[in-house]
Structure 1
Amino acid sequence: MNPPNLSILVLYYSRHGATRKMAELIAQGIDSVSGCEAMLRTVPAVSTVAEATAPEFASEGAPYAELTDLVHCDALAFGSPGRFGNMAAPLKYFWECSTAQWLAGALVDKPACVFTTTGSMHGGQESTLLSMMIPLLHHGMLILGLPYSHPELMTTSTGGTPYGASHWAGLNGNHPISDESRTLTIALGRRLAETTRRNRPQ
C-alpha cells in the first residue's frame, strides 16, 4: 500500500507576478519528489483604508491561505517580495494572526524554506529572507537553506543565496528569472520535499 502524499504548503504574496513565478518553480521542485505534492496558497493585500475589503476568493492564481493550512501541511515554503529589506505586510499580517497555531505547536519540527524577489539587485534579498525566518523560528520550524554544493551560488548575478532562493525582478517585476535562479529555486523546493519525506515518521 502506498503512503498518502506529503502536502507541502507554498505560501506566498505577489504583487507583479515575479514571486508567484518563483512559487511555481518551488512547487515544480516539490512535485518532482515521489510522494510529495505542492499546495500553492496566497494571501490578500492589506489596505491603509480601514473600510476596504478584499474579495472572499482570489481573482487569479492560487486560493487564499487559511490558518488551518498551517496545521495540515507537512512542510512550508514561504515566499515574499522584499519591502525595504523586510517581508511584505500581507504576509506579516497573516503570521500575526497565527497565535492559536503557535500555542498549539502546530508547526513544531516541520521543515521550511524561504524565497524572495526584489526590485533592485541590492534591494535587501538576504535581509528579507532572514526576516521571513523569524516567525518560522518562533513556530519551531526547521529552516532549510541552499548549500554550496549547488555551483550556481558561486556564479549567479541575479539572485540566489544560502539563506534561500531569490530573484532580481526589476521595479515592475518584469525581469526574466535567470537560469541560475531558476535552477536554485527548483532545487530548494526539491530539497524541502526530500527532507520532508526523509523526516516522515515511520
Structure 2
Amino acid sequence: MVKILVLYYSRNGSTEAMARQIARGIEAVPDNEAVLRTVPAVSTVCEKTAADIPEQGAPYATLDDLKQCAGLALGSPAYFGNIASPLKYFLESTTELWFSAALSGKPAAVFTSSGSLHGGQESTLLAMMQSLIHHGMMIVSVPCNEIALKETKTGGTPYGPSHVADDHSGISEHERAICHALGKRLATTALKLSK
C-alpha cells in the first residue's frame, strides 16, 4: 500500500474540505492510502503549545509522516497571497529532511482556499511549490484535460485546486472534481515511482 500524505492547515474548514476531497481521489486509485494530517495554530503573542492530539480533525503532522510518505498533497489558506503561518512554521522545521534528501524524488501537489475572489490563490500555490522544490520533490499539477478545470465558475487552477470561501457555499461540484483529479494523478504518479 502506497501512503500519500495530505498535509494542510485550515482555520475555517474550507481547506480541510478540499483535503478530504483530494484524499478521496487518492483512494480511488488501487493500492493507495491517503493519510490526513494538519498542523497546530501559531500564537502571535507568546510561545504556544498544543495538545499532542487535536480536539477534532486530523492528527498533527510529524517529520516521520513526511519521511514515510510516497507523495504529498500540501494545502493552505491564502493569506494575502501567501502560505498560512502555521503551515510555513511547520515547513521551516523540515531542515533535517532537506539535509538527508528524504523527500527528494517524491511527487507533490498543492491546493488552496481564499476568502475572496482575488485572495492570491495562484501566488499561494507557487509559494508552497518553492518549499517542495527545495526539497527536490516533483510537482504534479491538475491534468490539463480535466473538464471541470475548463468549466468551473468558482475555483480551480492548473497549478492546483482552489476555492473561494467568501459565500460559505462549500466546495462546488467542479472544485470537487478538480480535487479528485489531482488526488488520482498524485496517487498514480506515486505508485509508478514506488515500483
Q: CA deviation at 1:121?
A: 1.1
Equivalent-residue separation in structure 1 for 2:56 and 2:143 (angstroms): 34
Q: Does 1:60 align with 2:32?
A: no
Q: CA deviation at 1:148?
A: 2.0
Q: Does 1:188 align with 2:177?
A: no
Q: Does 1:165 align with 2:165?
A: no
Identity %: 55
Contact 1:168–1:175 (CA under 8 A) maintained in structure 2: no
Moved over 4 A (4+): none
For the aligned residue pairs, the C-alpha RMSD in angstroms reads: 1.0
In the alignment, which residue of structure 2 is the partner of 1:143?
139
Q: CA deviation at 1:65?
A: 0.2
Alignment of 1:1-202 (within 5 A): 5-170=1-166, 174-201=168-195
TM-score w.r.t. length of structure 2: 0.97
Equivalent-residue separation in structure 2 for 1:103 and 1:55 (angstroms): 29
Equivalent-residue separation in structure 1 for 2:47 and 2:175 (angstroms): 39
Code of the aligned partner of 2:53: F
Gaps of 5+ in 1: none
Count of matched residue pairs:
195
Q: CA deviation at 1:189?
A: 0.4
Equivalent-residue separation in structure 2 for 1:57 and 1:37 (angstroms): 21
Gaps of 5+ in 2: none
Contact 2:143–2:185 (CA under 8 A) maintained in structure 1: no
Code of the aligned partner of 1:48: T
Q: CA deviation at 1:146?
A: 1.1
Cα-to-partner distance string for 1:152-195 (whole Å, 9 max, x where unaligned): 22221211000001111117xx2221111110011100110011
